[in-house]
Amino acid sequence: MLDVASATATVFIDGEAGTTGLLIRERLGADRRVRLLSVPEASRKDAAARRDAMAEADLVVLCLPDDAAKESVALADALPGGGPRVLDASTAHRVAKGWVYGFPELSPAQGEAVRTARRVANPGCYPTGAIALIRPLVDAGIIPADHPVTVNAVSGYSGGGKSMIAAYEGGTAPAFELYGLGLGHKHLPELQAFSGLSRRPIFVPSVGNFRQGMLVSVPLHLDTLPGTPKAADLQAVLEARYAASRWVSVVPAEASGKLEAESLNGSNALELRVFANETHRQAVLVAKLDNLGKGASGAAVQNLELMLGLQPQA
């Protein structure tokens, strides 16, 4: 652990020009405890320049496509002593052997696992919300591991990369669309693995004409669950799991039955709600987050602070 009173952490963001990289850099830019390394724009794809930066860093954050992230890990692994610690924001290593899943709220022991890991995989935005809702209920036996679960979600268009951002901001994209209807979205492996489900869930993502913000929802028929729980039972399990969390909170469902997606933008907060109709014995669990915050750069900075032994900033 760094002695922050006398030392500065050195961080290299490999892929700092992308959306996530820029936001991580912005979040860290004013932090005097962190010294950010960079390579000239013309050298961002130069393996030797990136390797030299890695050799100087305490921690490397990867904000790259999957194949490029794997290449960067190989560069780091080849350095003396196994190279710097690595935090990967791509999909490449989220279920890979030897990597710790970077959702510290996953279980009571996960924060310590992230703190001590040499290789951490930052979670996807959609799985962050879904796992936060499902995992505590699986652990408590309320949702059986083999229960048929459906996850629906909507994100702002900033999560879709440069081409989607350009289409929405250029006025050529639809106001709303479902996607991933081949039921093979790249987030499914981590969603299943870390929610504790043995049966592959159905995941239906969508995108709306707003820049950032996210809602992830899980509908449940309460009478199909063991012990036929009430909505209050689900709420109590979630509240107990996240009672000590700085970033995840369980809040009352809006009486209006409505929920917008953007109020947490710019933060690392994640809010969980249980909407229910006891007459019909149905419930909808909903997670709200900023897809660029707790769903990407905010989570990365949270994991980085844990890995470097830095006190979390607001």
Tell me which residues are annotated as active site. 125
Tokens of 103: 């959702």
Sign of the alpha-carbon dihedral angle for 240, 243, 249, 253: positive
Euclidean distance between CA atoms 288 and 264, whole angstroms: 8
Euclidean distance between CA atoms 87 and 84, whole angstroms: 10
Amino acid identity of 148?
P
Q: Are 61 and 13 in contact (CB under 8 A)?
A: yes
Degrees to nearest 5, angle at CA 271 with 164 and 122: 55
Q: Are 118 and 92 in contact (CB under 8 A)?
A: no
Residue tagged 């809702």 (tokens): 133
